[in-house]
């Protein structure tokens, strides 16, 4: 079920308000939202500095385990203050922060007989990927490969690195790889117009 640009814009606005309220010490509160936001989706919230567009925080719930509105509340706060790679976002930084929201399709196993088949079945710019091997797990959103201009092999190698595995694990180990698509909504400037960078081709 795709979201409209208007719904995506609302979603980004909710993220900004939730973060703003939390950083001010207030209880985040969203009272009115579209009925569609009660549906269960996986979601990621990514924060970027402006104008550099460096990553400032990114946390998500890849599996559809809770309503979109509840997932947004949780991931918004986590991206702002609980990403272990970054210091917690300060309220003064929010005015220079671009918000990006990725609403995910349910991850599906990529079935292959030979690891080289991944190169045929996966498409850069369309697919986000999850890799699993024992206790190791890593995820890359579909827009990451596009932003870094990776080909499929580079995407898979960096996916392995994200999971803490050797770059060739997708070839040499008995890994499980799942793919998903995303509707990506991002502010052009902080608190400004929102555009859609969708990789989701379904209905």
For residues 122 and 38, membership in a common domain is answered with: no
Average of per-residue pLDDT values in the chain:
95
For residues 22 and 36, membership in a common domain is answered with: yes
Spatial neighbors of 198 by CB under 8 A, at least 6 apart, are 2, 182, 183, 184
Distance CA(106)–CA(88), nearest Å, equals 29
Domain containing residue 44: 5-105+182-196
For residues 55 and 65, membership in a common domain is answered with: yes
Spatial neighbors of 112 by CB under 8 A, at least 6 apart, are 118, 121
- Over residues 173-185, the mean pLDDT reads 97
Instruction: Work out the pLDDT band at 119, boundaries 50, 70, 90.
Output: very high
For residues 162 and 81, membership in a common domain is answered with: no
Is the pLDDT reported for residue 4 higher than 70? yes
Per-residue model confidence (pLDDT) at position 30? 84
Distance CA(159)–CA(180), nearest Å, equals 14
For residues 116 and 97, membership in a common domain is answered with: no
Per-residue model confidence (pLDDT) at position 202? 64
Which residue's entry shows tokens 């609403």? 103
Is the pLDDT reported for residue 203 higher than 60? no
Is the pLDDT reported for residue 156 higher than 70? yes
For residues 168 and 189, membership in a common domain is answered with: no
């Amino acid at each position: 079920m795709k979201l409209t640009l208007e719904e995506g814009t609302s979603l980004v606005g909710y993220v900004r308000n939730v973060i703003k309220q939390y950083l001010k010490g207030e209880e985040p509160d969203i009272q009115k939202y579209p009925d569609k936001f009660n549906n269960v989706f996986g979601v990621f919230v990514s924060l970027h500095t402006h104008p550099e567009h460096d990553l400032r925080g990114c946390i998500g719930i890849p599996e559809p385990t809770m309503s979109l509105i509840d997932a947004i509340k949780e991931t918004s706060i986590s991206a702002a203050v609980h990403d272990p790679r970054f210091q917690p976002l300060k309220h003064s930084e929010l005015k220079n922060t671009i918000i990006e929201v990725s609403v995910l399709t349910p991850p599906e196993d990529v079935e292959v007989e030979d690891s080289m088949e991944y190169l045929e079945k996966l498409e850069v710019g369309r697919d986000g990927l999850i890799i699993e091997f024992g206790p190791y797990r890593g995820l890359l959103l579909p827009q990451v490969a596009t932003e870094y201009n990776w080909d499929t092999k580079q995407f898979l190698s960096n996916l392995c690195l994200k999971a803490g595995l050797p770059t060739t694990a997708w070839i040499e180990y008995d890994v499980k790889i799942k793919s998903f698509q995303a509707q990506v909504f991002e502010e052009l400037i902080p608190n400004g117009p929102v555009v859609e960078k969708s990789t989701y081709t379904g209905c």
